[in-house]
Chain A
Amino acid sequence: MRKDEAMTDPESNGPDAPRLRPVVRAMIWATVPVLLLVQLLASAGVEASSFWSQIRQLDARMARVAESRAELIAEPLWKMRYDQVTGVLNEIMHDETIAAAAVYDDTGAAIARVVARSEGPSIAEVSRPIHYSNGNMAAVQAGRIAIAYSHAALYANAGSRLVLLLVVGLLATFATLIAMRISANIFIGRPLAAMMSAIQRSKQDGRAYPAEVKSSNEFGQLARAFNAMQHTTSGALDRLGHMAGHDPLTGLPNRRSLTERLAVASRDGGRPDALVAFCFIDLDDFKGINDTFGHEAGDEFLVQISRRLRTSVEAEDWVARLGGDEFVVIRPEVSNEASAHAFAQQVLTAISEPIRLHDKQVVPRASIGLAVRRADDPELSHLPTLADIALYHAKSKAPGTVAVLDEALQRDYRRRRDLELAIPAGFAEGQFEVWYQSQVDLESQEIVGLEALIRWRHPDHGVIGPAEFLPLIERSGNNARLTRYVLTDACWALQRLAAAGRPQIRIAINLPPSELADHSLAAELRATCARFDVAPSLLELEITEGSLINNIASASQTLHRLRRLGATIALDDFGTGYSSLAHLRRFPLDKVKIDKAFISEIPDSAEDKAIVGVIASLAGTLGLTLVAEGIERAEQAEAMREMGVRFGQGYFYQRPQPLDAVLHGLEKRPAAETRVLADSPPIAPEFA
């Protein structure tokens, strides 16, 4: 891999990257020395063979010279004309290779001797007999001729030719090297460089650049294959890029495209004074559609919504799906906030047209968070966040509407964020306080119980109610912690109540829905009670209908366990939610708390009275104890008592207070413990 990187990026000469070694140079290094060596060896071989052949030729020539001289010398030697012998011998001395020559007669005496030069190196000698004959006598050996000759000239010749061959070989090698370099550059270097350049350019912007190689050789084929591959790769990259930026289901741009779009808009937006309308759309209860019609129908639903969104906006508007049931519509130019709002409303209307799913009419519902910013606003890229704030507001306060981001919403958002961030510190510094509001026996006016209500004494924002921060606690995953915090405080409060002579007063704790799924809750409750030496039967656990709906089985199990410990179970806020009668029957409930919404209009509202009456009659039938919440006036308390509601709770009796204040108030009132205890159903703990 490193090699490949080095190939594609020759500039990356990092310490780990191997240094670029051009193939042309490597080829030259691999071939030229071999060529030179072979050339030199071949030259030397040819020269050596030529040299030996010349040596042999010289030897043969000298032998011939000796023989011919022997013939010429035979007669003068035989006839003892030694001067003539010397003369004939002298004639051969013009031959430069001959160093010396001598003629000996048949007695071995030197008759003639000529020396051309003093004996040098590499002297060879040839000797031939001299035969004489004439018509009168048979051939006799008259003597012998000896010629000493030198190979030095041949050696010198061979040496100079070797030097010449070396020079020629070097020149030839040099010429070959040049030719190789040029041809390798033309046939290898250039095509490679062209492809490399195409790769470099395409690396810069991801587009396909063909390598300009015209040749028809292997490199030409390689370049064509390379170009075809680049074309294919580029198409795949384009598709990949499109997929990365678009939602495969609806074909709309996705969140990633949104980020890029906003970056582009903030970089080169239209007129600086133009306004950008950003609608953050969230479909309400899309989960229900999935659950009811199946996921395929859910997808079909999303596709239809996206089609509607696209058809309901102008060409210059921009629609995206961020995922799930979240959509975004951006109108790049609106004249003012009002027209932006009208646009959002128009989108909402378009969405809300009925859709047929499985031959059934479904009316889509959506909430829209609208944020409007000037095109040159530096916070343009934050538009999704801002619109989300508005959407949050819409969904939490008025689902199915358009919420426009304004200063108040932003403030709320900032406050929410502040609180969310401060939760860990809140726990650590004990900023959470448990206040208690008394529950009163409407007959005897005795305080029979206390509801533990959490408060957050924030160092900056003061005391904050649970309605504001409990969603934050839940979102930050601190429900269990807070529950245990309250449980511990309640047990401690029970201990103190007992100590204050009020051991019959019970304390009710609100259980968030998530806690019902926690199997360890019962055990922890028992352990905590044991720690503070209080009876679990003094604890009352308040749940909402909503928490039952989401996980019926697990909630039921948990409630049974808690009940076996002796705790009582109360259904909180009854009447506002599902108000399912089945729930009242299915779950092990002891109490039902009537929501204060039904109390506030009593006794003036006959309807509310009727509802409360029905509830009371139902509870009576089912053996459930009723508690009325939010009693603020005496006549309300009186009306409840008349309708058979046993207990009441509200500002009429006592506002939520810290425990000390509650204890202080209790001190002023006489205790009536027997009644309260009798009122409590005797449930024997199955495990103690």
Chain B
Amino acid sequence: MTRFLRLLLAVGAACGVFAPAGPSLANPPAKPLEIVFINPGKTGEVFWDMVAQSMQAAGRRLDAHVEVLTSERNYRTMQELGLGVVARHDKPDFLILSNEESAAVPILEAAEAAGVKTLLLSNTLIGEDAVRLGPPRQKLKTWLGDITTDLQTAGARMANALIATARAEKWQSPDGKIHLLGIGGDEITPASIARNAGLKLAVDAAPDVVVDRLLFANWTQSEAEQVTTNYLGWASRKEIRPAGIWAGNDPMALGALRAVVAAGLVPGRDIQLVGLNWSEDALREIRAGRLLLTDGGHFLLGGWSIVLLRDYADGCDFAAVSPRVEVKTSAITRQNLDSVRDLIKTRAFGRIDFARFRAKAGRCGDYDFSLDALISSLPVPEGAAD
């Protein structure tokens, strides 16, 4: 009954019955939204902090109150928090979860029972859970969908950048091939697997390139430095000229960078490295010419998720295209570095005009979350937009 009334209310809102008049929208928001986000990361963990901050910035722009609960990398805590939210008397409109270690599944099921709409962010259902529960809105009606990043493309883009540079610089080894080192975060999480698959995809398409090793460094800088040192030693004994190092995230790329320097190579001149995450340190190294690029920007999934839910609440369901929204990442190079450096450095996500990213009327589910679109949404250079 309640669910039916809520649906009726939502339909009414979508139809603009209660929508107030907005400056740029035909249909003004019907009402402010209550959104809870269970943050799987730790307080101070850069990526998840930035996800939450972008989420809150978008909320402020799109009349949604975003409550962030941090599970501190403890999945038991995460489940307790999620179940607690579902059991609340005043239930939120939407609950945003990240299915890290598949810990969100019980919360999803509890939310279904409680009639709380859920959205999975960054990590969706995998494996047995995916088979058992099926796609969104079938078995779990309140599971609206998921918003994830296309990290495979990111991995391939990073590899292609290395290959292109090596080809241009003619960094082939005596065997005539371009030798790369891959450093993955791990071998089991979907986020890592996708990036690594991207690397493989790119290299398979390039017959003159070989990845000597895909090493794993547990996402950490120190381990990446260690394995890179080992690789460089091995390569020199094998008389291989290493042309590039592909790292699954920025800390690992920075660790590899330190190992390269320690091995007496000059990054950017003798060898190129790529990372992912748009981290501040990486941007600094890009600026110094020691890192070729850092891919990423997926912390903005937080903001984009609010955009999706705002549209959904307003009657423009993203499922019109697909309940599964995949957001492309973007590479920051020396060329576009300046545009986003301050944004990232200051985390002034309030400067992003999230309303601009909402779906156009009649084109529900059709979004452009590209770097170019982002840059153009920033207000600073007046003439740079469009």
Chain A interface residues (CB < 8 Å from chain B): 78-83, 105-109, 136
Given contacts A80-B230, A80-B231, A80-B234, could you give 12 more A-B pairs where the C-beta distance is less than 8 Å? A79-B213, A79-B227, A80-B213, A81-B230, A82-B226, A82-B230, A105-B237, A106-B238, A107-B234, A107-B237, A108-B237, A109-B234
Bound Cα distance from A80 to B228, whole angstroms: 9
B216 within 8 Å of A (CB atoms): yes
Say whether chain B's binding surface is mostly helix, strand, loop, or mixed: helix
Please name all residues of chain B whose beta carbon is closer than 8 Å to the beta carbon of A136 when the two chains form the complex. Answer: 200
B13 within 8 Å of A (CB atoms): no
Please name all residues of chain A whose beta carbon is closer than 8 Å to the beta carbon of B227 when the two chains form the complex. Answer: 79-81
Please name all residues of chain B whose beta carbon is closer than 8 Å to the beta carbon of A106 when the two chains form the complex. Answer: 238
Please name all residues of chain A whose beta carbon is closer than 8 Å to the beta carbon of B216 when the two chains form the complex. Answer: 79
Please name all residues of chain A whose beta carbon is closer than 8 Å to the beta carbon of B166 when the two chains form the complex. Answer: none
The 10 tightest CB contacts between A and B, nearest first, are A80-B230, A107-B237, A80-B227, A79-B215, A82-B230, A109-B237, A80-B215, A107-B238, A80-B231, A79-B216
Of all chain A residues, the one with the shortest Cβ separation from B239 is A107
From residue A130, how far is it (CB to closest CB) to chain B in Å?
14
Bound Cα distance from A108 to B237, whole angstroms: 9
Chain B interface residues (CB < 8 Å from chain A): 200, 213, 215-216, 226-227, 230-231, 233-234, 237-238
Bound Cα distance from A108 to B233, whole angstroms: 12
| Most chain B beta-carbon contacts within 10 A, residue among A79, A82, A83, A107 | A79
Please name all residues of chain B whose beta carbon is closer than 8 Å to the beta carbon of A108 when the two chains form the complex. Answer: 237
Please name all residues of chain B whose beta carbon is closer than 8 Å to the beta carbon of A107 when the two chains form the complex. Answer: 234, 237-238
From residue A465, how far is it (CB to closest CB) to chain B in Å?
157
Bound Cα distance from A109 to B213, whole angstroms: 17
From residue B378, how far is it (CB to closest CB) to chain A in Å?
42
**In the bound complex, do residue A78 and residue B213 qualify as a contact, i.e. CB atoms below 8 Å apart?**
yes
From residue A75, how far is it (CB to closest CB) to chain B in Å?
10
From residue B149, how far is it (CB to closest CB) to chain A in Å?
24
A-B contact pairs, 19 of them (CB 8 A): A79-B215, A79-B216, A79-B227, A80-B215, A80-B227, A80-B231, A80-B234, A81-B215, A81-B226, A82-B226, A82-B230, A83-B226, A105-B234, A105-B237, A106-B238, A107-B237, A107-B238, A109-B233, A109-B234
Bound Cα distance from A107 to B233, whole angstroms: 10
Please name all residues of chain A whose beta carbon is closer than 8 Å to the beta carbon of B233 when the two chains form the complex. Answer: 109
From residue B359, how far is it (CB to closest CB) to chain A in Å?
40
Bound Cα distance from A136 to B203, whole angstroms: 14
From residue B176, how far is it (CB to closest CB) to chain A in Å?
20
| Most chain B beta-carbon contacts within 10 A, residue among A78, A80, A107 | A80
Please name all residues of chain A whose beta carbon is closer than 8 Å to the beta carbon of B200 when the two chains form the complex. Answer: 136
Please name all residues of chain B whose beta carbon is closer than 8 Å to the beta carbon of A109 when the two chains form the complex. Answer: 233-234, 237
From residue A131, how far is it (CB to closest CB) to chain B in Å?
16
Bound Cα distance from A107 to B230, whole angstroms: 12
From residue B292, how far is it (CB to closest CB) to chain A in Å?
22
Please name all residues of chain B whose beta carbon is closer than 8 Å to the beta carbon of A82 when the two chains form the complex. Answer: 226, 230
Bound Cα distance from A79 to B237, whole angstroms: 16
Of all chain A residues, the one with the shortest Cβ separation from B233 is A109
From residue B184, how far is it (CB to closest CB) to chain A in Å?
10
Please name all residues of chain B whose beta carbon is closer than 8 Å to the beta carbon of A78 when the two chains form the complex. Answer: 213
Please name all residues of chain A whose beta carbon is closer than 8 Å to the beta carbon of B215 when the two chains form the complex. Answer: 79-81
Please name all residues of chain A whose beta carbon is closer than 8 Å to the beta carbon of B237 when the two chains form the complex. Answer: 105, 107-109
From residue B174, how far is it (CB to closest CB) to chain A in Å?
15
Bound Cα distance from A105 to B238, whole angstroms: 11
Of all chain B residues, the one with the shortest Cβ separation from A85 is B230
Bound Cα distance from A78 to B214, whole angstroms: 9
